[in-house]
């Protein structure tokens, strides 16, 4: 016979003698307020209330919980106990980690006190924010004050040299923390950073999806030349794209190996627009045309500077039969003047000397 089936009358004076912990685990006992009179009926009053049985005896109301309610309470108690036991262990492990394996944030040099695969502090990651400045509706470059007042939303560059892609968008500006994260992946091979950058790229891809209508696009990462890929060991655009696909609300096809870089190119840093265009001319080709024919393609890459490389890739894909080509990148090296800048001419992106040296070394290794 279960406890919730026993008659309270058959246990006079015993229920109130049950240990307090047993009562708190199995019953809900409370004093009946009101008249305070004993029940007129010689039998206890029993009322069904959902999954509980309520019985009144001698001015006390005894509520017997069902099996499901008791199990739920046990789980809650076990969870609270685990939280109390684990919290000190987490604090202790973090302290031991910081003592035995001292390390600093790769971006701000602040000592790290937590165990993480990404050597970057939480403050630096939180400081990376999406672009908020007004941007060109085609290439995503920052618009000047004059362009905001007069114009069709396009920058001077897109008016003079219309790119092959229909639209390009980026998550953030290529500076400070975001630039540092990309460098950790590309030049120091901190591969777990790809998951963080992939989350940013995923947000950018979602912003481009309305431009695709009801058609599901295919993602194509910008390829590296085989010599550079062999030297680096991976294609950062492909790694970031794979991480982004896992975070998208709907599955999208990632077509790797469709676009190939058939010849090595020199670094674009310091080149004029005409030199950039000539540098990447005929550098790409499509290997599997059926995968892009009559489809909307979203090119994905880590950084966009002038957009020359993305435009060349878009032109090759359109010649292979792609219906429309969009572009999504993690970072954008803005070239247009800021809103308070009176100089409306195109500027070269601010690229650190260390990156220029790294690119030059990579090109020299691939020759």
Instruction: Give pLDDT, residue 35.
Output: 43
State residue 2's pLDDT score. Answer: 45
- Tell me what pLDDT residue 315 has: 97
How far does the chain reach from its first CA to its final CA, in angstroms?
A: 86
Cα–Cα distance for residue pair 213/158, rounded to 1 Å: 24
Average pLDDT over residues 238-245: 97
Per-residue pLDDT averaged across 326-351, rounded?
A: 62
Confidence of residue 114 (pLDDT cuts 50, 70, 90): confident
> What fold does the segment set 129-366 form as a domain?
Rossmann fold (3.40.50)
pTM: 0.67
* pLDDT higher than threshold 70 for residue 359: no
Closest CA to 119 of 175, 203, 201, 196: 196
CATH 3.40.50.2020 region(s) of the chain?
Answer: 129-366
Residue 353 has pLDDT above 70, yes or no: no
Task: Please tell me whether residue 143 adopts helix, strand or coil conformation.
Answer: coil
Whole-angstrom CA distances from 115 to 90, 94, 97, 98, 106 are 10, 7, 7, 8, 14
Backbone torsions φ then ψ of 65, nearest 5 degrees? -80, 150
* pLDDT computed for residue 101 by the predictor: 53
Cα distance between residue 86 and residue 94, in whole Å: 12
What per-residue confidence (pLDDT) applies to 115?
Answer: 72
24 or 323: which carries more pLDDT confidence? 323
Give mean pLDDT, residues 134-141.
Answer: 93
Q: What is the pLDDT of residues 59-101, one digit of tens each?
A: 555 555 566 777 777 878 877 777 776 666 665 555 454 444 5
Question: Cα–Cα distance between 348 and 94 in angstroms, integer?
Answer: 44
Average confidence (pLDDT) over 123-138:
93
Beta-carbon contacts of residue 276 (< 8 Å; ≥ 6 apart): 268, 306, 308
CA angle, 344 then 348 then 354, to 5°: 150
The structure tokens listed for 337 are 């003047």
- What number is the average pLDDT over the span 327-348? 63
Q: What is the pLDDT of residue 328?
A: 98
Task: Give residue 223's pLDDT band: very low, low, confident or very high (50, 70, 90).
Answer: very high
- DSSP string for residues in 195-207: HHHHHHHHHHHHH
pLDDT of residue 18: 42
| pLDDT of the residue at 126 | 94
Predicted local confidence at residue 64, as pLDDT: 54
């Amino acid at each position: 016979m279960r406890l919730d089936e026993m008659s309270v009358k058959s246990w006079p004076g015993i229920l109130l003698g049950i240990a307090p912990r047993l009562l708190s685990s199995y019953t809900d006992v409370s004093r009946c307020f009101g008249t305070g009179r004993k029940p007129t009926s010689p039998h206890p009053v029993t009322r069904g209330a959902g999954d509980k049985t309520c019985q009144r005896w001698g001015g006390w109301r005894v509520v017997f919980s069902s099996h499901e309610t008791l199990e739920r309470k046990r789980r809650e108690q076990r969870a609270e106990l685990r939280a109390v036991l684990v919290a000190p262990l987490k604090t202790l492990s973090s302290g031991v980690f910081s003592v035995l394996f001292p390390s600093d944030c790769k971006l701000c040099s602040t000592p790290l006190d937590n165990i993480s695969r990404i050597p970057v502090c939480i403050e630096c990651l939180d400081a990376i924010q999406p672009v908020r400045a007004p941007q060109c509706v085609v290439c995503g470059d920052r618009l000047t004050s004059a362009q905001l007042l007069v114009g069709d939303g396009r920058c001077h560059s897109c008016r003079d040299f219309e790119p092959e892609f229909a639209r390009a968008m980026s998550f953030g500006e290529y500076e400070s923390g975001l630039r540092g994260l990309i460098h950790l992946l590309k030049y120091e091979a901190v591969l777990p950073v790809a998951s963080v950058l992939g989350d940013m790229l995923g947000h950018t891809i979602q912003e481009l999806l309305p431009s695709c209508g009801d058609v599901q696009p295919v993602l194509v990462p910008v390829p590296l030349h085989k010599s550079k890929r062999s030297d680096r060991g991976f294609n950062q655009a492909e790694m970031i794209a794979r991480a982004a696909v896992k975070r998208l609300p709907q599955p999208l096809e990632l077509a790797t190996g469709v676009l190939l870089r058939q010849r090595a190119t020199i670094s674009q840093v310091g080149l004029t627009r005409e030199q950039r265009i000539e540098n990447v001319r005929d550098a790409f080709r499509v290997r599997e045309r059926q995968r892009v024919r009559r489809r909307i393609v979203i090119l994905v890459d880590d950084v966009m500077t002038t957009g020359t490389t993305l435009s060349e890739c878009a032109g090759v894909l359109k010649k292979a039969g792609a219906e429309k080509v969009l572009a999504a990148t993690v970072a954008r090296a803005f070239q247009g003047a800021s809103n308070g800048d009176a100089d409306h001419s195109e500027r070269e992106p601010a690229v650190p000397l260390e990156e220029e040296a790294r690119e030059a070394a990579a090109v020299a290794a691939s020759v």
